[in-house]
Amino acid sequence: MKIRENRRGPNPRGNQLNASTTAGLGAHGSRFRSRKGPESQQGEFRAGQLRDHVENWIALGAPDQLVSLISGYSLPFGSRPALRNIQSSIPPGLSTPWSSSMCMVVEELLRKGIVAPISTPSGFLSTMFIRLKANGSPRPIFNLSHLNGFLKLRRFRLLNHLKVPAFLRPNDFLAKIDLSDAYCHLPVKEGHQRFLAFRFGETTYAWTCLPFGLASAPQAFSQLTNWVASVLRSQGIRIIVYLDDFLIAASSPASLELHTQLTLDLLLSLGWQVNFQKSETSPSQRRTFLGLVWDTVSQYVSLPTKKRESISRIIQALLDRPTWSLRTQQKIVGLLNFAAFTVPLGRLHLRPLQIAARSLPREKPLLRRPISPAARVALGWWIKHLGDGAPYASPQKVTVLSTDASDWGMGAFIEGSNGVSRKWLKHLGDGAPYASPQKVTVLSTDASDWGMGAFIEGSNGVSRKWLPDERGWHINLRELFAVRWAIETLPHLFLNRSITLLTDSAVVAGLIRKQGCLQSPVLHHETFRLLSLVLSLRSTIKAVRIPGTYNTLADCLSRNKSPPEWHLLPAATNLIFKRWGLPSIDLFASQRSAVVQCYGTLDPLDPQAQLVDAFAVPWNFRLAWVFPPPPLIPLVLRKLVSSSGVFLLVAPRWKRTFWRSEIKARALDAPIRLKMSQPVLVDLSSGLPPPNVQDIVLEVWKIRGGPL
DSSP string, 497-522: -EEEEEES-HHHHHHHHHTS-SS-HH
Q: Are 131 and 139 in contact (CB under 8 A)?
A: yes
Position 288: which residue type?
T
Non-local (6+) Cβ contacts of 11 within 8 A are: 53, 55, 56, 59
Mean pLDDT of all residues in 253-262: 96
With CA atoms as reference, report the closest residue to 226 among 305, 177, 158: 158
With CA atoms as reference, report the closest residue to 422 among 435, 433, 408, 432: 408
Q: How far is CA 607 from the centre of its chain?
A: 48
Where would I find the H helices in 18-114? Answer: 19-22, 26-29, 38-41, 54-59, 64-71, 100-112
Q: Are 333 and 314 in contact (CB under 8 A)?
A: no
Query: What is the rounded distance in angstroms from the CA atom of residue 115 to the CA atom of residue 127?
Result: 13
Query: What is the rounded distance in angstroms from the CA atom of residue 650 to the CA atom of residue 627?
Result: 5
Q: Are 443 and 400 in contact (CB under 8 A)?
A: yes
Where would I find the H helices in 537-632? Answer: 552-558, 570-580
Q: Is residue 635 over pLDDT 70? A: yes
User: In angstroms, what CA-CA distances link 423 with 417, 453, 472, 480, 481?
Assistant: 19, 11, 13, 15, 12
Q: Is residue 678 over pLDDT 70? A: yes
Q: pLDDT class for 227, splitting at 50, 70, 90?
A: very high
When mean pLDDT is compared over 421-425, 653-657, 678-682, the highest value belongs to: 678-682
Q: pLDDT class for 11, splitting at 50, 70, 90?
A: very low
DSSP-derived secondary structure letter, 128:
E
Q: Are 445 and 489 in contact (CB under 8 A)?
A: no
Q: What is the pLDDT of residue 403?
A: 54
Q: What is the model's pTM?
A: 0.73
Position 435: which residue type?
A
Q: Is residue 69 over pLDDT 90? A: yes
Q: Are 303 and 288 in contact (CB under 8 A)?
A: no
Q: What is the pLDDT of residue 244?
A: 94
Share of the chain above pLDDT 90, in %: 70
Query: What is the rounded distance in angstroms from the CA atom of residue 288 to the CA atom of residue 247?
Result: 10
Mean pLDDT of all residues in 391-400: 55
Pairing of strands 197-200, 203-207: antiparallel
Q: Are 672 and 699 in contact (CB under 8 A)?
A: yes
Q: Is residue 608 over pLDDT 80? A: yes
Q: Is residue 433 over pLDDT 50? A: no
Q: What is the pLDDT of residue 431?
A: 24
Q: pLDDT class for 258, splitting at 50, 70, 90?
A: very high
Where would I find the H helices in 244-392? Answer: 253-269, 305-319, 326-339, 351-356, 373-385
Query: What is the rounded distance in angstroms from the CA atom of residue 15 to the CA atom of residue 30?
Result: 10
Q: What is the pLDDT of residue 234?
A: 92
Count how many residues are written for the chain. Answer: 708
Query: What is the rounded distance in angstroms from the CA atom of residue 117 to the CA atom of residue 628?
Result: 72
Q: Is residue 51 over pLDDT 90? A: yes
Q: What is the pLDDT of residue 135?
A: 78
DSSP-derived secondary structure letter, 614:
G
Where would I find the H helices in 581-693? Answer: 633-641, 660-666
Q: Is residue 585 over pLDDT 60? A: yes
Q: Is residue 399 over pLDDT 70? A: no
Q: pLDDT class for 294, splitting at 50, 70, 90?
A: very high
Q: pLDDT class for 401, splitting at 50, 70, 90?
A: low
pLDDT in tens, 130-186: 888 777 788 889 999 999 999 999 988 899 998 898 899 899 999 999 999 999 999
Q: Is residue 461 over pLDDT 90? A: no
Q: pLDDT class for 684, splitting at 50, 70, 90?
A: very high
Q: What is the pLDDT of residue 29?
A: 43
Buried/exposed 438-470: b ≥16 CB within 10 Å, e otherwise: bbbbbbbbbbbebbbbbbbbbbbbbbbbbbeeb
Q: Are 480 and 541 in contact (CB under 8 A)?
A: no
Q: How far is CA 535 from the centre of its chain?
A: 22
Position 77: which residue type?
F
Q: pLDDT class for 22, splitting at 50, 70, 90?
A: very low
With CA atoms as reference, report the closest residue to 125 among 220, 190, 203, 188: 203
Q: Are 249 and 171 in contact (CB under 8 A)?
A: no
- φ and ψ at residue 246, rounded to 5 degrees: -105, 135
If DSSP codes are grouped into helix, strand and coil, which group holds residue 296?
Answer: coil
Buried/exposed 547-559: b ≥16 CB within 10 Å, e otherwise: bbbbbbbbbbbbb
With CA atoms as reference, report the closest residue to 341 among 332, 350, 328: 350
Q: What is the pLDDT of residue 390?
A: 74
DSSP secondary structure string for all residues of 391-449: E-SPPS--EEEEEEEESSEEEEEEBTSS-EEEE--SS-------------EEEEEEEES
Query: What is the rounded distance in angstroms from the CA atom of residue 84 to the CA atom of residue 37?
Result: 49
When mean pLDDT is compared over 24-38, 391-405, 413-427, the highest value belongs to: 391-405
Q: What is the pLDDT of residue 6?
A: 31
Q: pLDDT class for 5, splitting at 50, 70, 90?
A: very low
Mean pLDDT of all residues in 602-629: 92
Q: What is the pLDDT of residue 683?
A: 92
Mean pLDDT of all residues in 609-616: 91
Q: What is the pLDDT of residue 43?
A: 81
Residue 138: other Cβ atoms inside 10 A? 16
Q: What is the pLDDT of residue 506?
A: 94
As a whole number, the mean pLDDT across the chain is 86
Q: Are 62 and 7 in contact (CB under 8 A)?
A: no
pLDDT in tens, 341-375: 999 999 999 999 999 999 999 999 999 999 999 99
Query: What is the rounded distance in angstroms from the CA atom of residue 18 to the CA atom of residue 9?
Result: 15
Range from 565-569, 602-606, 607-611 carrying the lowest mean pLDDT: 602-606
Where would I find the H helices in 270-372? Answer: 305-319, 326-339, 351-356
Q: Are 115 and 206 in contact (CB under 8 A)?
A: yes
DSSP-derived secondary structure letter, 136:
S
